[in-house]
Amino acid sequence: MKVIILAGGGGTRLFPLSRQDYPKQFLQIGGEMSLLAQTVKRFRQRVNPEDMVIVTNQAYFHHVQTELRRWGAERAHILLEPAARNTAPAIALSARYCLDVLGCDPGEALFVAPSDHLVRPEEAFAERIEAAIGAAQTGQIVTFGIEPANAETGYGYIQAGDARDIGFAVRRFTEKPDRTTAESFLAAGGYYWNSGMYAFTIGCLLEEMERHQPDLAEMARSPFDQMLDRFSEAPSISIDKAIAEKSERVVVLPFGLYWNDIGSWDAIFEALPKDAEGNVIEGDCIPFGCRETLLMSHGRLVAGVGLEDTLVVETPDVIVVARRGESQKIKEVVEQLKRRQRREAVEHPKQYRPWGNYTILVDAPGHKVKRIVVQPGQGLSLQMHYHRSEHWIVLEGTARVTIGDEARMIHENESIFVPKSTRHRLENPGKIPLVIIEVQNGNYLEEDDIVRFTDTYGRS
């Protein structure tokens, strides 16, 4: 059995926490582990990391790599999609990877799952995996159906048909319905939310792809390297539309566990623990007479007075306030920000890099101030800037600084100046994170004023 974890999505419904450059699979919801890390942990009950394939793209590669390393799963495989083509091509590419690179045979079972859902309890989830894999090895395509708790319009629905030895035949899939249709599904019974999880053998997947999506099947017959080269030619289509809605081999298993796709702020409110008044309080927040309200701070003090059924999310650069039940519309806010070319729609205030991260503290004409964290054993590229000088002050840890041909060690409460147009490098040779304040001065302070000479991470 191989586990395929889909981690290439870039959703915006959890704005301002999730952004285009830092989507929700990397967020820590309700604990220290990211949603991706929690997903990997769930599957480690059943398989080792080397039997997992994380499908993502180049933009998120270092995020995925950092999460796997942090939680001891660095032996998992990272498969980079050359282009965004939805879930069916991603799964087809994963199957080809398993055949050609991992040496699997067509009878190998694959379990496909999103990287950004919550599932509880984890022990019972392992039992569900066993049931799904057992059914998949009889030649069926297995998906889990989530018993609907309400007439949710943000999920797809699966209508169950006749009972099978395990689960039910699938009568039909329905994409996200309107409120009236969702209420009719709930009243009729026999409908489930679509979990997005699938199990099948590689051979079964390729056979059904041949039958229902021949263009993609033709590409999937190519050796892995050739399929990778041609991947951008693949149709952009979900696994639901490409195969599941058409195949007669699909069965749905009632999931019977807690599941939450964390697809909106309303979903987060439902998932997190609450106080006696039904409030979710995260960070430096003070509620006064609030009920059924979410207050979340990531820096500044947030005080809520007399709020009811309200969502308040604070980040260093954006504050979002919404009525509960309306959070799906946050996606429309992000679209408007993109039309206005606001950087907040794309950039997270904390920018992650393969060596660590930085946060912009001040951004004004002629100067910019950053807080930079370099992880142990990591370092920035040997680089130069034409238009800015830099002044580095070490707050924590020890820095190895190269300026021109000279290298020296800089310790806590010490500083160093980097002139314009001078080759330089910052490295952390120590055992703890290096934290510095960087003060930039110049007439042009954008990130594209970087000339790299050598780079450990292959960036140009």
Distance separating alpha carbons of residues 101 and 334, to the nearest angstrom: 39
- Please state the φ and ψ torsions of residue 179, each to the nearest 5 degrees: -60, -45
Report how far apart, in Å, the C-alpha atoms of 288 and of each of 113, 277, 302, 320, 323 are.
Answer: 41, 11, 11, 19, 17
Distance separating alpha carbons of residues 206 and 111, to the nearest angstrom: 15
pLDDT, one tens digit per residue, over 171-213 is: 999 988 999 999 999 999 999 999 999 999 999 999 999 999 9
Distance separating alpha carbons of residues 36 and 5, to the nearest angstrom: 9
The pLDDT of 322-342, averaged and rounded, is 92
pLDDT band at 34 (very low <50, low <70, confident <90, very high): very high
pLDDT, one tens digit per residue, over 215-248 is: 999 999 999 999 999 999 999 999 999 999 999 9
Contact 128, 144 (CB under 8 A): yes
The pLDDT, as a whole number, for residue 349 is: 84
∠ Cα 269 57 384 (to 5°): 105
Question: The tokens 């566990």 sit on which residue?
Answer: 257
The pLDDT, as a whole number, for residue 1 is: 95
The pLDDT of 263-276, averaged and rounded, is 93
Q: What is the dihedral of CA 87, 214, 53, 140, to 10 degrees?
A: 90
The pLDDT, as a whole number, for residue 390 is: 98
Distance separating alpha carbons of residues 24 and 12, to the nearest angstrom: 8
Per the structure block, which two tokens stand in for 184? Answer: 């009719």
pLDDT band at 350 (very low <50, low <70, confident <90, very high): confident
Distance separating alpha carbons of residues 339 and 397, to the nearest angstrom: 42
The pLDDT of 159-178, averaged and rounded, is 92
The pLDDT, as a whole number, for residue 352 is: 87
Distance separating alpha carbons of residues 360 and 350, to the nearest angstrom: 7
Q: Which residues pair with 79 in a beta bridge?
A: 55
pLDDT, one tens digit per residue, over 111-133 is: 999 999 999 998 999 999 999 99
Can you state the angle between helices 87-100 and 202-212, rounded to 10 degrees? 130
Distance separating alpha carbons of residues 218 and 335, to the nearest angstrom: 36
pLDDT, one tens digit per residue, over 39-61 is: 999 999 999 999 999 999 988 99
- Please state the φ and ψ torsions of residue 186, each to the nearest 5 degrees: -65, -40
The pLDDT, as a whole number, for residue 112 is: 98
Among residues 347, 280, 289, 335, which one has the least CA distance to residue 312? Answer: 280
pLDDT, one tens digit per residue, over 295-311 is: 999 989 999 999 999 99
CATH code of the domain made up of 2-260: 3.90.550.10
What is the overall mean pLDDT for the chain?
A: 94
Burial class (CB in 10 A: 0-12, 13-18, 19+), 169: middle
Contact 132, 30 (CB under 8 A): no
9 pLDDT more than 90? no
396 pLDDT more than 90? yes
Report how far apart, in Å, the C-alpha atoms of 142 and of each of 206, 216, 239, 255, 387 are.
Answer: 15, 21, 12, 11, 57
CATH architecture of 350-454: Sandwich (2.60)
Among residues 450, 456, 400, 403, which one has the least CA distance to residue 427? Answer: 400
Least confident of 25-29, 386-390, 435-439: 25-29
Cis peptide upstream of residue 16 (ω within 30 degrees of 0): yes
